[in-house]
Amino acid sequence: MAIDGTKDFSSVYSAWLGKPVILLVSIRHYPVSMPCRIVAESAAEVRVRVQSGWEMEVRKDLILAVEEVAITDRVN
């Protein structure tokens, strides 16, 4: 992922950087939920961490929705 020229676009996904989210991604015209963390953004792609040590780029035009995962501490 190239980071040169990152100031030339508006950062749509910056509010979710480092937070656990669910991306709704279109794969072969079917919506697929993908739990991950957004770790970086370029003009055309978002880099996500699916699990520890496994990151991938997702094209922005394939992202249908982003939802932040609310983590609540439960006390029994």
DSSP conformational letter for 75 = -
| Nearest alpha carbon to residue 67 among 39, 31, 36, 26 | 36
Tens of each residue's pLDDT in the chain, 76 residues: 555 555 555 678 888 999 999 999 999 999 999 999 999 999 999 999 998 889 999 999 999 999 998 876 555 5
Residue spans of the domains in the chain: they are 8-68
pTM reported for the whole predicted model: 0.75
CATH architecture of the domain covering 8-68 = Roll (2.30)
Cα 71 from chain centre:
17
